[in-house]
Amino acid sequence: MNRFVKLAGLLGTTMFAHNAVAETVSISRLDAHDIKSSYFELSEDQKVEIEFLAPKSVIESDYDEDRNGDRNLTDFVWIIDLNTRETVWRSRRADEIEAGKNRRLKVYGDKVNLDKGRYGMFYSTHNFRAESHSGMDFFLYGLSTLLRDDNKITHEDIESFYVDLRAKDIEKITPEKSFNPFAGTKEVVSLHKVRKNRFEQFGLSVAKDTELSIYALGEIAGKDEADSAWLKNADTGEVVWKMDKKSTEAAGGARKNRKFKGTVPVSKGSYVMSYSSDGSHHYNDWNSQPPYDPQAWGVSVYADKAAKVEMFNPKERLDALKVLSISKVGDNAYVSKHFKLSKATNVRVVALGERASSRNMADHGWIVNSKDHSKVWSMKVRDTEHAGGSSKNRISDEIIYLPAGEYTVNYESDGSHSYDGGWNASRPHDEKKWGISLYGVGNDFDKKSIEMLKSADSNAIAQIVRVGDGQRRSKEFELTAEQKVRIYAIGEGDSGDMSDYGYIKNSETGKRVWYMFADETEHAGGAGKNRQVNEVVTLPKGKYKLYFRTDGSHSFEDWNANPPTDKQHYGITVYDASK
């Protein structure tokens, strides 16, 4: 007997007249962890018949939650409207028609009213756990194995699954590569069927205030944004919109499938739309139930047809404004770059790093004034945002004002979770920027006002740094006139005593003219025993000798506790402070 003859008898009289030509669209020959689709167009509004073979235990179970905590387990067959991208039918609506070929399976059917239009039908087997009933099973485990697993579906069962949709004047179609679920708009950005480890950016400039319509699908599990999109102001770095748990809704299938379908107001200006995916659960390689609109995995942006929107290359735009970059940083790194500003400038700082706790960063960047070693900017946890992937991936993107002067940009990482050293949790979206980068801001930015320097210590008179264990080092220097000098020293001290310390002697008299007293130091970052002095003193004309001494532990590159922030200057430096 024909499948649909039985369906009509069990669900009611067929809706087709005897002279109507009814055709069928089908999906069959499924595999385990598979998703297949079929697309069709209806030339008129009508009621269609749907029949499918499925596991009895899945359809009829009151426990509608899979091992990943997903509550859409019965929705493994569904239909979407290709114009609106909305789901118009799901398999949980169906009723039993008859028993299947064994007691594990049943045939189900339903009737649904569909408007004239274009549709996509899907069958996913990702939530079916199949057991093999092969001869090897029998040989290894005996007949008891087969009896014990009689209620579990097999690979052979899955291969027999099908779904048929019957309608009159139905035409099979090929889905369009692009689509627009927002009437009256034009497509600006189209990124669909995104696979693993992708990072894409699109620049768009709008001539006046307008609204952008966005349709985006991605993976957000808890606090981790594995596959997601976000929109930033290209000039300020301000996040205008982003996919997160709050801004999105369920996209069907696995709970971690999320979607955004709505409008975002934007002011006149330039913007960058970004999309990033991780290494699992993506188009054509899902590790759990796919979303209802799998082809839309990615992001699409639409604008009013009358809106003037121009595209640009965001990388080229950013590179033109680049001051310096420390990127792709690996484990246990300490990298510094130095530059000079000939005039005051607004600078955009973009830093990606790893949060160690609610207050501390494990991988982080900071900027200091090279002349006096004062910190002018640092990456603080409270000022960061989620950088995608693991929740410990953080990003700072802000604009700061820097007066004319010399500066040092530093970046430090710990022993794990970095670009070059490998990630121990989900990577950040823009992983190549792991580090710190500086960019000019606005049309008034003058790249000629930037000069890169080889060293931050161009005004050093005498220096003893990067001092190791058990060292007694000294260096002579001479002042031809009375002079103000800055003494910058970092050492080890505890309980009022200094273990690693510096001092200065007059070479002619042998008298000590400066000493690093513990009670005159301040915390140098890291362990509490890291101490520093940063002060300006006046020394008379004469010859001097600079000294630094260390004990047998906790020194440069051999720390027994957390090192100081500026470990490269562990020791003592005398700078010219007369200018």
Say yes or no to pLDDT of 147 above 60: no
SS3 9: helix
* Highest mean predicted confidence (pLDDT) among 3-17, 66-80, 144-158, 362-376: 362-376
One DSSP character per residue, 444-501 reads T--GGGEEEES-S-TTEEEEEES--TT-EEEEEEEESS-EEEEEEEEEEEETTEEEEE
Residue 198 has pLDDT above 80, yes or no: yes
| pLDDT value, residue 379 | 97
- Look at residue 185 and tell me whether its pLDDT is greater than 60: yes
| pLDDT tens profile 495-525 | 889 999 999 999 999 999 999 999 999 999 9
Look at the block and give the residue holding tokens 């957000």. 220
pLDDT at 132: 57
Task: Look at 262 and 143; give whichever has higher pLDDT.
Answer: 262
Q: What is the pLDDT of residue 96?
A: 87
How would residue 127 be classed by pLDDT, with cut points 50, 70 and 90? confident
Judged against a pLDDT cut of 80, whether residue 1 lies above it is answered with no
If pLDDT is split at 50, 70 and 90, which confidence band does 58 have? Answer: low
DSSP tally for the chain: helices H, then strands E: 6, 39
pLDDT tier at 473, thresholds 50, 70, 90: very high
- What the block records as the tokens of 456 is 């931050």
Question: φ, ψ for residue 158 (rounded to 5)?
Answer: -60, -40
- Strand extents, DSSP E, 243-328: 249-250, 257-266, 269-276, 298-304, 309-312, 322-326
Q: State yes or no: pLDDT of 315 exceeds 70.
A: yes
Which has more confidence, 458 or 401? 401
pTM: 0.82
Q: Please give the average per-residue pLDDT across 395-406, as a whole number.
A: 96
Return the pLDDT at 175: 86
Q: Does the pLDDT at position 71 exceed 60? A: no
Spell out the domains of the chain, with CATH numbers in brackets.
3-172 (2.60.120), 185-315 (2.60.120), 321-453 (2.60.120), 460-576 (2.60.120)
**Mean pLDDT, residues 130-140 taken together:** 51
Residue 69: the pLDDT is: 47
User: What rounded mean pLDDT belongs to the chain?
Assistant: 90
| Chain segment 321-344, per-residue pLDDT in tens | 999 999 999 999 999 999 999 999
Record the tokens describing residue 45, joined without a space: 């509004």
DSSP labels, 145-209: HHHHTTTS-BHHHHHH--EEEEEESEEE-PPPSS---STTEEEEEEE-S--TT-EEEEEEEESSS
Indicate whether 144 pLDDT > 90. Answer: no
Percent of the chain surpassing pLDDT 70: 89
Q: What's the confidence (pLDDT) of residue 101?
A: 75
Is the pLDDT at 151 greater than 70? The verdict is no
The per-residue pLDDT for 439 is: 96
The predicted-structure confidence for 249-297, as pLDDT tens digits, reads as follows: 999 999 999 999 999 999 999 999 999 999 999 999 999 999 999 999 9
The pLDDT value given to residue 57 = 64
- Distance between CA atoms of residues 498 and 519, nearest Å: 9
Residue 530 · residue 492 · CB < 8 Å: yes
**Structure confidence by residue, pLDDT tens digits, 329-384:** 999 999 999 999 999 999 999 999 999 999 999 999 999 999 999 999 999 999 99
What is the predicted pLDDT for the residue at 2?
52
pLDDT band at 399 (very low <50, low <70, confident <90, very high): very high
Mean pLDDT, rounded, for 544-554: 97
pLDDT at site 66? 44
Query: CB under 8 Å to 537, separation ≥6 — which residues?
Result: 484, 485, 487, 514
What pLDDT was estimated at residue 201?
97
pLDDT of residue 192: 95
Nearest to 436 by CA among 526, 343, 335: 335
pLDDT value of position 3? 55
Per the structure block, which two tokens stand in for 237?
């770095």
pLDDT higher than threshold 50 for residue 306: yes
Confidence of residue 98 (pLDDT cuts 50, 70, 90): confident
- For tokens 């008298």, the residue is 511
- For residue 509, the one-letter residue type is T
